A and B are shown apart, each in its own frame.
Chain A
């Protein structure tokens, strides 16, 4: 279980997360919606330990990310896919994927490479294993980014606006893969602006506003008039996003 308990985070005087509570159970797909600056990405960065909490607690399968000794174990259980891919530019697609399994999990190189190739094939990049990031399109880079996270066999996949830097065609390349992962039971925390897609794949939808978790509801209820839409801020956000 991934548990966020009363987490507070501020950058200088700006409060970004103001007492957030969230639980993600294995097998669940939870989408986090909210306007830019609502704290969605910061929440992800707190879960994978890139930001220190000012207050509260985050545990990944009972490993506390704020304790240096437990952080490594917590990080082994979660994999992050970034908005701007953040691939290692000097390594081939395959090397990007196998580096951490070989160095951190101490997997034999041949095994890690076989698995890496299988992952690449599963996202339709079987023939680009030796290509460098600069030689791939944005959509292909992000697919490599997803493989890199999956290669560590994480129990929780954290996705931080993974399609925001892509054009619609490339976005659908990436979303197709995420839909497949959701179907196969991968646990995902999915920060996104793709509302329709979130609706299709999520078990639950969470709405963040100015660092406060306003709504946390099963997907169908979130989009119903007496559920999420009863919140004026959510209704306003959804109607605005749909118009765009």
Chain B
């Protein structure tokens, strides 16, 4: 059999629509999971016992349940008790919640690795807890967390392909439709492979640049 991509020409617009939707969901979920990950990382490194436990419970729960089960619960389960959320929102929320659990782990490790003395220097100089967190703790934690955080985000983009199971016509969903319309799954999925690889490559490129910038004081060592 030979590869004939011209067969897909009439369907390119439809596939592009799917790709755009995937990019939108992922961009929003990326922001959502990083913000959530930071908040949960703060909670998990906090002195307050109850906040600590709550955060640990959240991370344990969402890491120990398959993503597709979480997704079905939100989309097909919740309407049973009167909570209706559209597919797009469900997708973004589910990806953010699940991604946030993993992201918090990466960020937490970065926070715990910070030398106590640095925090103490900030404390005795009179900086408030909020300023210490945003200006000292977070930027230093991200220096080491950014790489594992990148893996979490890339994994999240790959996981977004599951959203087609809740009627969301993202890239994988539309590709399935095109494949069954044209009976040319080989061509369709070759395109899919390339698009997903490019999408994740873009993110990992961004992560690399961010990593380099965050560690700009020791350029030779990290390159």
Contacts and interface: CB of A to CB of B under 8 A. Distances in A.
Interface of A: 48-50, 72, 75-76, 78-80, 82, 84, 86-90, 99-100, 103-104, 132-135, 148, 152
Contact of A100 (B127, B139, B143, B217): B127
A89 B118 contact: yes
A80 to B, nearest CB: 5
A122 B37 CA distance: 44
Contacts of A82: 117, 120-121
B125 A148 contact: yes
A140 to B, nearest CB: 14
B126 A100 contact: yes
30 contacts: A50-B123, A72-B126, A75-B124, A80-B121, A80-B124, A82-B120, A82-B121, A84-B117, A86-B117, A86-B118, A87-B118, A88-B118, A88-B121, A88-B122, A88-B140, A89-B140, A90-B140, A90-B143, A99-B125, A99-B127, A99-B135, A100-B125, A100-B127, A103-B131, A132-B217, A132-B218, A133-B217, A134-B217, A148-B125, A152-B126
A135 B218 CA distance: 8
A240 to B, nearest CB: 29
Contacts of B127: 99-100, 103-104
A126 B115 CA distance: 28
Nearest to A135: B217
Q: Which of B117, B122, B217 has the largest count of A CB atoms less than 10 A from its CB?
A: B217
B53 interface: no
A84 B120 CA distance: 12
Given A134-B217, A134-B218, A135-B217, A90 B124 contact: no
Given A90-B140, A99-B127, A99-B135, A50 B120 contact: yes
B216 interface: yes
A104 B126 CA distance: 6
Interface string B102-127: 00000000000001011011111111
Nearest to B115: A86
B210 interface: no
A50 B123 CA distance: 8
A86 B120 CA distance: 8
Interface residues of B, number: 22
B10 to A, nearest CB: 52
A228 B200 CA distance: 71
B131 to A, nearest CB: 5
B87 interface: no
Contacts of B121: 80, 82, 86-88, 148
Contact of B125 (A84, A89, A104, A132): A104
B21 interface: no
B199 interface: no
B217 A90 contact: yes
Nearest to B116: A86
B177 interface: no
B135 A48 contact: no
A233 to B, nearest CB: 30
A48 B118 CA distance: 15
A104 B143 CA distance: 25
Contacts of B135: 99, 103
A100 B132 CA distance: 10
B23 interface: no
Interface in B181-223: 214, 216-218
Nearest to A47: B124
B136 interface: yes
A48 B124 contact: yes
Contacts of B117: 82, 84, 86
Contacts of B125: 75, 79, 99-100, 104, 148, 152
Contacts of A133: 217
A78 B125 CA distance: 9
Contacts of B123: 49-50
A89 B217 contact: yes
